[in-house]
Structure 1
Amino acid sequence: MTDPISAFDGVTRLKSPGRSAVSDNAPVERTVAEVLRAVRERGDAAVRDYSKQFDQADLATFEVSAEERQAALDALDPQSRADTEFAIDNVRAFAEAQLATILPLEVEPLPGVHMGHRVIPMERIGAYVPGGRYPLLSAPVMTIVPAKVAGVSEVIACLPPNAHPAMIAGCHLSGADRIFRIGGAQAIAAMAFGTETVPRVDKIVGPGNAFVNEAKRQVFGPIGIDQLAGPSEIFVLADHTGDAEMIAADMLAQAEHDVRTRVGLITTDAALAEATLAEVERQLRDLSTAETAGAAWRDYGEIAVCEDEAAMIAYSDHIAAEHLQIHTEDAHGLAARLRNYGSLFIGELASVVYSDKCSGTNHTLPTMAAGRYTGGLWVGTYVKIATHQWLTPDGVKQVAPPAARQAATEGMEGHRRAAQMRLDRIQARRT
């Protein structure tokens, strides 16, 4: 991502990112287009070929059976199951509270003109559950649980054939109706077009690698997608009250996701900037995931020093970070002045890690500055707000004359006739 920092007065970098997480994306468009074409034309046969090629998996059947679900559940150690169910309960409770704010509507803005909308759950959605470097047990929770809360009739989950068995258990506990061992672009294609065994869905949600992301981009239109997800991001806004050790720990926690994770500190305190830079290097020395986190910090890490709070806010809103933590003296006051972010973590006790795992807010969030125009995955992702209207004769008298006049001005005679016809018939019945 290009950051024209020179456009922001009063902002200097103590550490600049060495590379761009966006421009470093592998050129995968052609490969993905071929995968999509093949799956559309050959269905399961193409999925099987690509599973062998990309995942070294030769499966007789793609769908996880009820017996296999139960076996995965039985193999899940009791504490992991309890923790997963804790996360499910919290995500469900928050999604239910969100859904309660999305209400149907009926109004009569003009006499006899009735309008409204319904909140309609989608019929079938596809949840892509990434395998990743680690068994991310929270991943299915975040995509499947809100869908079931929203009232989606059927949730199809796809996860790579080599995903940890605990991921199957997580999909099952979260409420997936059907689970398939299909990963990568071929999974997106199967859900988008449908195959002999995988049903076509109405919308695909969930993050994945560059191939998954590109596949979602290419199938968008006939089906919906939640968003295009890039590498993970975390930025921390801090003043002189910031704790360098804690800030470094939070940044490295996110950096261990991927070597392209974008991590940064934006601060008004130069001493904190220096201390955090040293603290990151110190913590990397004994971090077991330092190979990944260190590469992310080296290539995409950033520390920006701002001359005042206004400059800090302006630069943060430009970055529009996926995860944005606030470690300042008046964290809630600063939070109210911010506009662009994926999810906000107010005060030093609110770590991104809690949201990543189990606290209840969703961890599927906009990256690559998409926080400037959208929020993250939520229960509203799975419903449609569909409007309706109905009119009485008095309502037709209100809207037909201006509608007919406007249509005539635009030269749309068919529109004029349709608008006028109802008014003429109402008037004729009364004569």
Structure 2
Amino acid sequence: MAPTYLKRKAVQEDGQGVKTNEGVASIVKGVIDDIRINGDASVRTYSERFDKWAPESFSLSDEDIKGILKQVPEQIINDIKEVQKNVRTFAEAQKDSLKDFELEIQPGVFLGQKNNPIENVGAYIPGGRYPLLASAHMTILTAKVAGVKHVIGCTPPIQGQLPTSTIAAMHLAGADEIFILGGVQAVAAMAVGTETIRKVDFIAGPGNAFVAEGKRQLFGEVGIDLFAGPTEVLIVADEHADPYTVATDLLSQAEHGPDTPAILITNSREVAEKSIELVDKLLVNLPTAGLAGVSWRDYGEAIVVDDLDEAFALADEYAAEHVQILTQNPRQALQKMKNFGAIFLGEGTCVSYGDKCIGTNHVLPTRKAARYTGGLWVGKFLRTVTYQEVRNNEASAKLGRLCGRAARAETFEGHARSGDLRAHKFLNDQHDWINGKLAAGDARPRVEASQNGA
């Protein structure tokens, strides 16, 4: 039977799950172009326009940071350190799983792989609405564990004030420079470089539609972690799930903003109906109901299917950022599902743990991007490079003959002659032939040698 939708999303989107806003791309392009030409002056103009923020310097000095740290309650500092310990532990385990190696694929032919960290990274820490401390851990700390030499952190002011707790998190995560600068102006400044903000090679971190569009337009000029849109949650629940837990966890993500998809897929009509009823009741006393309620109204869905196999299959079609499994056997989802940014198994594990404290990275693919990529991790800050060395003349001659034949099959004569040179030089040491025939451009002996396998 077809799934039954007890609640459907109200907003029409394009094929990628995006509510189109044609004006965003135009505005972002204008900001980037302006900053590219006018540097700091334009950065100041846009910061004042968008954030009402134009201090003498956007950069925080060491003395500034010391003073700010004194303003942050001790409990918050201790909690930041504990969370960062979790993030660091997991990130270090990820890095340890990436091994440099070298192997001798045939006598005298050595191939190797190295993982080199990116030199300069820009980390964008959103915060125009809330102080998002956790994004500092996920971007700055992860980059530092990867071995990135220099990390710039940018975060916006909040209602004209310094976000002291976020700054503390950025500093403790290891940021080398901290700028109180938000929006596309921050992303553009880091990507193109200005008089006071160094150009980076890579930008990581989530943000609003303008930040996401800025990263999209700048991709190629710099690397980016991934294209991330509004956060998403999808819950797969069976007939044993607690509807109160379902409703609470749907709203925990819906409060991120007014455009957060919150989806329930269950094999129990009763669980679905009670969950919908409880969402409406919980919104009455939820301080962030102004955002969560709009998300639930416009993007919330509740779907009833026949069985859990159908639920897992439908969830895979959504390829959601966060998938939460509230079933009697939650680990079954690990075998049944493939498309998700992160999966949270069982009632004891909620998406909010991943967002705030458990240690895995919360910068994750949205808008069905989980079909082709995972989230931010240590490996995103590493460039996996290869090297080759042929130490044996006989091996080089053998490869030269193979190269000659392979290149001529593609009509790449220049490539073939590079192989020919080594085949003849190292196999027969025919220096007279090399210095005479090769210099004269006579390709006939080389063609015959390659064709005859000599």
Q: TM-score range by the shorter chain?
A: over 0.9
Answer whether contact 1:133 1:257 (CA < 8 A) is retained: no
CA distance in 1, matches of 2:183, 2:340: 28
Answer whether contact 2:397 2:427 (CA < 8 A) is retained: no
Q: 1:276-315 to 2 correspondence within 5 Å?
A: 276-315=275-314
CA distance in 1, matches of 2:370, 2:424: 51
CA distance in 1, matches of 2:332, 2:398: 47
Aligned residue type for 1:286: N
Structure 2's unaligned 5+ residue stretches are 432-454
Answer whether contact 1:17 1:298 (CA < 8 A) is retained: yes
Superposition deviation, residue 313 in structure 1: 1.6
Aligned residue type for 1:282: K
Aligned residue type for 1:178: E
Aligned residue type for 2:141: V
Superposition deviation, residue 411 in structure 1: 1.3
Question: Which range moves more in the overlay, 359-368 or 54-63?
Answer: 54-63
Higher relative CO (CA 8 A, sep ≥ 6), structure 1 or 2? 1
Answer whether contact 1:110 1:398 (CA < 8 A) is retained: no
Aligned to 2:331, what secondary structure does the other structure show?
Answer: helix
CA distance in 2, matches of 1:11, 1:198: 52
Question: Which range moves more in the overlay, 413-422 or 26-35?
Answer: 26-35
Superposition deviation, residue 26 in structure 1: 5.7
CA distance in 2, matches of 1:285, 1:54: 32
Q: Which residue of 2 aligns with 1:4?
A: none
Superposition deviation, residue 282 in structure 1: 1.4
Q: Which residue of 1 aligns with 2:406?
A: 406
Q: Which residue of 2 aligns with 1:75?
A: 71
Decide which of 116, 122, 141 is 2:112's aligned counterpart: 116
Q: Which residue of 1 aligns with 2:88?
A: 92
Answer whether contact 2:39 2:194 (CA < 8 A) is retained: yes
Answer whether contact 1:268 1:308 (CA < 8 A) is retained: yes
Aligned residue type for 2:148: V
Aligned to 1:196, what secondary structure does the other structure show?
Answer: coil
CA distance in 2, matches of 1:27, 1:398: 60
Aligned residue type for 1:52: E
Aligned residue type for 1:379: V
Which has more radius of gyration? 2
Decide which of 5, 8, 12 is 1:13's aligned counterpart: 5
Q: Which residue of 1 aligns with 2:315?
A: 316
How big is the alpha-carbon RMSD for the aligned residues of Structure 1 and Structure 2? 1.4
CA distance in 2, matches of 1:90, 1:191: 28
Q: Which residue of 1 aligns with 2:153?
A: 157
Q: Which residue of 2 aligns with 1:372?
A: 371
Question: Deviations 1:351-393 (Å, cap 9, x if unpaired)?
Answer: 0111111110111111001111111111111111101111122
CA distance in 2, matches of 1:383, 1:224: 11
Structure 1 246/25 Cα, relative in aligned 2: closer, same or farther at 3 Å? Answer: farther
Q: Which residue of 1 aligns with 2:124?
A: 128
Aligned residue type for 1:400: G
CA distance in 1, matches of 2:369, 2:123: 21
Superposition deviation, residue 166 in structure 1: 1.6
Q: Which residue of 1 aligns with 2:135?
A: 139
Superposition deviation, residue 427 in structure 1: 1.7
Superposition deviation, residue 165 in structure 1: 2.0
CA distance in 1, matches of 2:195, 2:156: 19
Q: Which residue of 2 aligns with 1:394?
A: 394
Aligned residue type for 1:23: K
Q: 1:169-184 to 2 correspondence within 5 Å?
A: 169-184=168-183
Aligned residue type for 1:182: L
TM-score relative to the length of structure 1 = 0.95
Answer whether contact 1:192 1:219 (CA < 8 A) is retained: yes
